[in-house]
Structure formats: structure tokens, C-alpha cells
Amino acid sequence: MADYARSQLAATQLLLRQQITGLAVEPERLSYDRDICFDTLQGYCAATGARLSDFISGDEALRDGCTLRYGEFYLVLANSHGVANYKRRKFTLAHEVGHIYLGHSWHGPEEEKEANWFASQLLMPECVLMEIWRRDGKLLAQDVAGWFFVSDAAAHNRVRQLQRTRRYRLGTEEKQLVERYLPHILAALRDPYPVSV
């Protein structure tokens, strides 16, 4: 069974190690305590002579991205043709980072759910969204997509999930994260029309 609490905590702890400069998180620009590099699948194939078809064909077809591990070094690859939209690519990169931070050695259905939850928390932290909702009285997916620079689909899924949350209690890490995000939350609430690029 997927461990969503562990996924959420891992993403929250990673965010707490960052210099928060806005609501939008760029996975490629985060500071990691592990050796993680990013590239496109196409760039990797060009540099190594690997065949693209080895990654994107067969029963275990690559859709958006994958992670290659070399000892303690991780190379996160995004399929630049399959993830043309940068917002979707961001989610793919965050998802792959989730696999790394959650220690997944196998990518079955439960691990995929955990990595998706990690990515959602990394890109749209639940405690930050709940603080926006508390202060503004509403939480609209189109605003979330613009403020956090995520796809409309990711924003809709996250808002829908939060609307099902009956009670929300902030833990120590969540309180710290809201405090770090607060200037950006207030700025977002002053801007009724977030720009979605």
C-alpha cells in the first residue's frame, strides 16, 4: 500500500532545505543532498550512443522520464519529445526525484503513486495551499496553476484532493514551511490574476 505520509514528509523536508524565492519550484535548480543531475533522454542518447528505442519501446515503455543510477550518482532523464510542455516536464522531474528520495528500487503501481504524491507536494505543498485557502476563502485550480507554474491537470488534481480533506493539522515541518513561503503567499493573494506561462 502506498505510503503517502512518508512521501509528503520527504518532499516537505527537501523544501525546507531550500532557499524559498517564490511559489514556483524548479526541480533542476533545487539543492540536493544527493548527487543528482538532469538531462533529456535525447541528450543522453546523443552523448552516449545509446539508442532511443531502447528506452521508449517494449513492454516497459518510457513515457515521460526515467532515472539512471550509477553507484550513488543519479541521472534524471526527461523525454523531451514526450514532455514538450515544460510544466508537465517539471512534474516528471519532481516525480523522478521522488523515486530517489523515497529509495524506490522498483517502480510498481504503489511506488508510482508515492512518487506522484511526492511530486505534488514538492511543486504545490499542501500546507501552503491550505494557508492560501484559509486566507483567501477559496482555492481555484487556475490560480494554483499560475502561481506554482504547474499544468492545469496537476493543479486540478491537487485542488480536488485538498477539497476532500476534512481536517488539516499542521505539524512542525509544515509550520516552518508555511512561514518560509508566507511572503510569497501574501504576494500571490495581492495578484488576482497569476500569469500562467
Give me the tens of pLDDT residue by residue for the chain, a chain 197 residues long.
Answer: 999 999 999 999 999 999 999 999 999 999 999 999 999 988 999 999 998 887 775 544 456 889 999 999 999 998 886 555 889 899 999 999 999 999 998 878 999 999 999 999 999 999 999 999 999 999 999 999 999 999 999 999 999 999 887 677 789 999 999 999 999 999 999 876 655 43
- Using the structure block, give the residue that is written with the C-alpha cell 492545469: 152
Handedness of CA 80, 114, 153, 144 (dihedral sign): negative
Judge contact between 91 and 154, C-beta under 8 A. yes
CA-wise closest residue to 123 among 38, 7, 35, 3: 7
Pairing relationship of beta strands 35-40 and 73-78 according to DSSP bridges? parallel
Handedness of CA 59, 2, 139, 128 (dihedral sign): negative
CA distance 50 to 176: 44
Number of residues that this document lists for the chain: 197
* C-alpha neighbours within 13 Å on the C-beta side of residue 128: 33
CA separation, residue 58 to residues 43, 55, 68, 78, 111 (Å): 21, 8, 18, 18, 21
The SS3 assignment for 172 reads helix
User: Could you say which DSSP state residue 60 is in?
Assistant: T
**Region of residue 71 (phi > 0: left; psi between -120 and 50: alpha; otherwise: beta):** left
